[in-house]
Amino acid sequence: MGAGRAHGTPPNRRHPTPVCATLIRSPSGDAQPVPYTLPLLSAHPVTHIANPRAADPARPIGPRERAVLTVEGMTTARDAIRAWEGYAPTPLRRLDGLAAAAGLAALYLKDESTRLGLGSFKALGGAYAVERLVGRRGAEGLTVCCATDGNHGRSVAWGAHRQNCGCVIYVHGTVSPGRCEAIARWGADVRRVLGTYDDSVRAAAEDAVAHGWVVVSDTSYPGYMNIPRDVMQGYTVMADEIVTQIDRPPTHIFVQGGVGGLAAAVTAQTWEAWGTDRPRIVVVEPDRAACLLASARTGRPVMALGALDTVMSGLACGAPSLLAWEVLDEGAHNFLAVPDAPAVEVMRLLASGRYDAPVVAGDSATAGLAGCLLALANPTLRGALGLDRDSRVLALSTEGATDPDVYAELVGRPAASVVAAS
């Protein structure tokens, strides 16, 4: 995940709720209209790429994917992370009310809003990579650095604080003050860079060379692979939690994109755990920062064009991680790009308690679920993704209110009130 605009203009809350009839097959095979009444989601365009290189369902995970992430690596990460003070598996919630409204057999939501007090799955990655680095070379004289939109830098800063080493974090021009303050709270030196997330990545890399620091990045590039692999291996611990929490494999997983590290970790670990029963992997990105979809279209890692100006700040990434792409190139089945508005609507939907107990989901947390609900509202896309009334969908709510001010602006109420109502 990368960075982008800290917040955007919410869609009009007075917009009428559209109602459309979706056609879903009954167990007998007859087509039955099922009312679909979720607010606003049917009104937005979605870009879809079906991955022509997706592995045959009968193929087990192979050496290409295992060269990036392994069960042994997950086990090592899990053993280390379980020993951290405050560690506990985050909840896997059943959204039975929303599933019924959307015409699904089941809908599960992995809720990362309470992860290790940092409020994001990123807590598992950067901090684990710092711990591994200190284990190899010691903390004396060590300074780590990275670029961030907020959550990864917060994890690296927390990890550096735990390991008693120096830390410098680079943020780009539109990272919110609240996210910068959350990073600085752990003793990091926070430096702002003009431009996009990719500009802050370059600044961190250049200064690391000049000062002898070590970059702890969640994205990989030529000549820089080992530390991002540790970051991704930390993320597999979350996927392993899901495997143990869920009663049976879902049919679909809708997962956020960004640079691809999370999507690759979820893909690899569920492929290892469930083999040929693994779910269809659908990667969802902002339509203004869809580098993975662009890469799927061309068949190789490519840059996303444009300013990466999206409300989904943690997903505003211009280039895929090369390691992540090694897993996703054949491991992901479909790629979607969605506008900002439905992601904000899903934030509000989860907070409202309209169908299920309220959930606090941040601006980068809802792309996957938004992609699923948009697909269900589009008969062509629903068919292309194999979604029907027998589908069991898993989505990942990857962060809570990591910037409380931004959350309150987008949702229209503070996160504390949502928590109190849950």
Catalytic one of 110, 111, 149, 388: 149
What six digits make up the tokens of 57?
């369902």
What letter does residue 221 receive in the DSSP assignment? B
Q: Is 148 helix (H, G, I), strand (E, B) or coil?
A: strand
Residue 245 CA to its chain's centroid (Å): 19
Which residues neighbour 252 within 8 Å (Cβ) at sequence distance 6 or greater?
279, 280, 282, 372, 385, 386, 387, 391, 392, 393, 394
Helix segments in 29-140, DSSP class H: 63-66, 71-82, 96-102, 126-137
Side-chain-side CA neighbours of 31 within 13 Å: the count stands at 5
418 with 411: CB under 8 angstroms? yes
Catalytic one of 111, 122, 329, 403: 122
> How many whole angstroms separate alpha carbon 229 and alpha carbon 67?
10
> How many whole angstroms separate alpha carbon 264 and alpha carbon 328?
6
Q: Is 110 a catalytic residue?
A: no
Q: Is 381 helix (H, G, I), strand (E, B) or coil?
A: helix
> How many whole angstroms separate alpha carbon 244 and alpha carbon 288?
35
Residues in the chain: 422
Q: Is 149 a catalytic residue?
A: yes
Q: Which residues of 5-20 are buried (b: 16+ CB within 10 A; e: fewer)?
A: bbbbebbeeeeeeeee
The catalytic residue positions are: 122, 149
